[in-house]
Amino acid sequence: MNTPIRRLSVFTMALFGVLMLNLTWIQGFQAQSLIEDPLNSRLYSERLSEARGPIIVGDENVAYSENIAEEDSSPEYQRVYEGGGVYTPVVGSFRSYGASGIEATENSLLDGSDDRLAVRNFRDIITGREPEGARVQLTLDPAVQEAGYQGFVDLGMNGAAVAIQPDTGAILGAVSYPSYDANDVVSITDQQAAIDNYTAMEADEDKPLLNRALNERYAPGSTFKVVTAAAAIEKLGKTGESTIDAPDVREFPSGPVLPNATSGGTCNGGEPDSLAHSIQISCNTSMANWAIEMGGEALSDQATAFGFNPEEGEELRVPMSVTPSYAPVETDESILGRAGIGQSNVEATPLQMAMVASGIANDGEVMHPYLVDSVLDSDMSVVTQASPETYSQAVEPSTADMLTDMMVLVTTPPEGSGLNGAIPGMDVAGKTGTAENGTDRTHNWFIGFAPADDPQIAVAVVIEFGGGSGGSLAAPIARQMMEAVVL
C-alpha cells in the first residue's frame, strides 16, 4: 500500500471512530434528556396525538383533552381546564414544555402508558380502538374548594387553605391564592404565547405558580399552642384545669421579653392561668412557660407525632411532594419559650396544620392525607382505589377530647378569640394564630374542625402578610369551608 492510500485509510478509520463515539454518547448517555427536551418536536407531536384521560372533581371533568383538528385530519388534542384558577394548584397544567400538579404525578396513567393499563392497551391494539388515558378522580369537594378560593378572592390577600376529612385523610380542599388559569399556558395553536405567559408568571412577585397549601412554610403562631397543650397533657399529665404562671410579660435570661397579645396585655390579671383558658384567649406567657417546663425534646416529639420533622426520604407525598414542616429541639430558654407559641424555628405548611386539627378531631389519630381517590380505566374499570391509612397516633383519645373542649372555647363568647369561626347551631373547635415574620405585617391563621362532637371536616387557613388577626382574616374563610360540608 502506497503512502497516500495508507494515510487516506487511517483518516477514514479515524472518522469512523469519531462517528461511533458520538453515536455511543448520544444513545447511551443523552437519549433520555433528548427525549425530554422541550425542543424535541417529535415528542410534542406525539403529545398532540394523545387523548389524555380527564381529571375529575365531584362529577365534573376539570381537565380533559379536546380534539381541535380539522375534519379528516390527524387528531390534535388541546388540554382544556375548567374553573379558572380554583383547581390549578392541585390539577396543575400539562404543557408542551413541562407539567405540574396531578398532571405530572399521574402522567403515565393519564397518557395511558402505565403498566397497569397494559391489558387494556393490548385489547385496543387488537380491536383497533383508539387508545385513551385513564380517568383520575380527586378527593376534592367542589363546594369546599370553591368556598375557600372565593374567600381569598373576596379578601384580596395571598394565602392558602387546606381541608381534610378527619377519619380518612381525604383532602377536601387545597386552595392556594393567587392562582392562574391553566388554559393560559397550554395552547397548542399559539405556543409562544403559552410560553410567554408561563415565563411572566415565573417572574411575578406574587408567585402564582407556587402551591402555598403544600409547599410554603410559615411560622404557625398561636395555632401551634394546641401542639404545646397536647404535649403538656401527654408528657406532663396535665389537664385543662392545670395552671401555670401567666405574667403580663415573660422575661428570659437572654433575648427580648415576650408580651401577651390579649386584651389589656394580660391573661388572668397576672395570676397563674389554666391551660384551657390560655388556649381560649391565646395567652403567650403561660404557653411559653408550659414549653419551658416540658423541655424542647418533649415539645419537638409531640410535633413530630403530628407530622413535623419527617426523616429524610420520609417526606409526605399526596401524591405531589409536600414541603416538610419543622419544630426542632430547642434548648435555649428564650427560643424554646417562643417555640411554644409557634415562633422561633417552628415552621409549618397549611397542610401540616390541617393535619394537627384533623388528628385532634379524629381522637388523636392522624390519617395520611391524599388527593387521588381512584383511577378508572377508559372502560370504567377500577385501576386503583385509595385506602385510608393511619399516619400516626399523635395523642391519646382522652387528650384529643380535652383539646377539643379547649378549642370549642375559642369560638365561644364572650372570651373566645376566634368567634368568626363559629357556626350557629353547633359547636366548632378552633384556634387562632398571629405569626411574626420579620416584617410589620403578620401572617394570620385559623385551624379548626366541625361539628366538634362529630367532626366531618378539619381546616387550616393562613393569610400571608395579612397584618391583622387570625380571628378577623382567616377564621371567616375557614368557617365558609366548614359550612360547605356541615350545613
Q: Which residues contact 39 (CB under 8 A, 6 or more apart)?
A: none
Place of cell 417552628: 346
Please choose, from the candidates 146, 161, 143, the residue with its C-alpha nearest in 3D space to the C-alpha of residue 473. Answer: 161
Please choose, from the candidates 410, 354, 374, the residue with its C-alpha nearest in 3D space to the C-alpha of residue 166. Answer: 354
Q: CA angle at residue 34 from 30 to 36, to 5 degrees?
A: 125
Question: Where would I find the H helices in 30-141?
Answer: 31-36, 41-48, 88-91, 101-105, 107-110, 118-127
Q: H or E segment at 15?
A: helix 3-29
Given the residues 93, 96, 222, 300, the one annotated as active site: 222
- DSSP line for 360-428: HHTTTEEEPPBSEEEEE-TTS-EEEE----EEEE-S-HHHHHHHHHHHHHHTSTTT-S-GGG-BTTB--
**DSSP code for 356:** H
For the record, the C-alpha cell of 475 comes out as 377564621
Q: CA angle at residue 188 from 184 to 194, to 5 degrees?
A: 35
Dihedral of CA atoms 72, 77, 83, 89 in degrees, nearest 10, equals 180
Answer for the pair 459, 163: CB distance below 8 angstroms, yes or no: yes
Buried b (16+ CB within 10 A) or exposed e, 138-151: bbbbbbbbbbbbeb
C-alpha–C-alpha distance, residues 112 and 269, integer Å: 66
* 65 counts as catalytic: no
Give the residue numbers annotated as catalytic, written as ranges: 222
